[in-house]
Amino acid sequence: MITQNVDGLHQKAIPKEAPLKDPGHILELHGTLHTVHCRRNHRIDREKFQNELSRLNPVWKDFADRMARTGTEPRTNPDGDVDIGGVDFSDFVLPVCEACLAEGVRDDVMKPAVIFFGESISQEVKQRSFSDVEASDRVLFIGTTLATYSAFRLLKHAIELNKPAMLLNLGPTRAHGVPEVEIIEAASSDVLRTAIRALTRDLKGDPRRMVSKLLESGVVTPPPDDMDDRAPRAAG
């Protein structure tokens, strides 16, 4: 499985009783929000990093806790940055990378381990994604417009290898107009639930209960009626 999501929910969705518990078969194309890394790519769990931020900045920790208790939300700018006016940031302490310190280097520049707009995925991830396509009999793209080239080129690669390709999505995508792709315009959640029920109807006992639990779990939030669903215009 190759995912563009960075929230780690695919791994979280693996039931404890599932026969395949190793999430290593999931390739996160655009990284994960569950780790942060320094400029030398030393990684640390985000919870550990957050706890260290709180330890080094107790006043800011109290400020954040107070906002959480009162339900106060800071103003968010259009670019996603939070604007806290009248605050002095000069005393804010950033954790240094412990792995770098052990190597005699000091680095306190850390970022989430995700690919931001304008950045490129690593050669390792790119090659792994190509290898996964090459190892497959066919490819199925679910719930994506393929707006990012890192995803769209996987479709191109599959077509170059003469592998059957199908896309399941509501609304226009970058694959529209590509004759080699079979496109199903339907809600992916409805189609997948129907497919799972059909494929598992003969299951008994614990496997049956596990599938039923998965089908009944989760939160579904339909998009608003006024959502802009025009065709993506990402550069390729």
Residues labelled catalytic? 30
Dist. CA 98–CA 104, nearest whole Å: 10
Q: Which of 116, 137, 139 is nearest to 2 (CA)?
A: 139
Is the CB of residue 15 less than 8 Å from the CB of residue 213? yes
Sequence-distant (6+) residues with CB within 8 A of 49 are 36, 95, 110
Reported as type and span, the H/E element at residue 76 is: strand 75-76
Query: What is the full DSSP assignment across 38-59?
Result: ETT--EEEHHHHHHHHHHH-HH
Name the residue with tokens 């395949």: 20
Distance of CA 3 to the CA centre of its chain: 7
Reported as type and span, the H/E element at residue 75 is: strand 75-76
Reported as type and span, the H/E element at residue 205 is: helix 205-216
Compute the radius of gyration of the chain from its Cα atoms: 22
User: What number of other Cβ atoms are within 10 A of residue 94's Cβ?
Assistant: 12
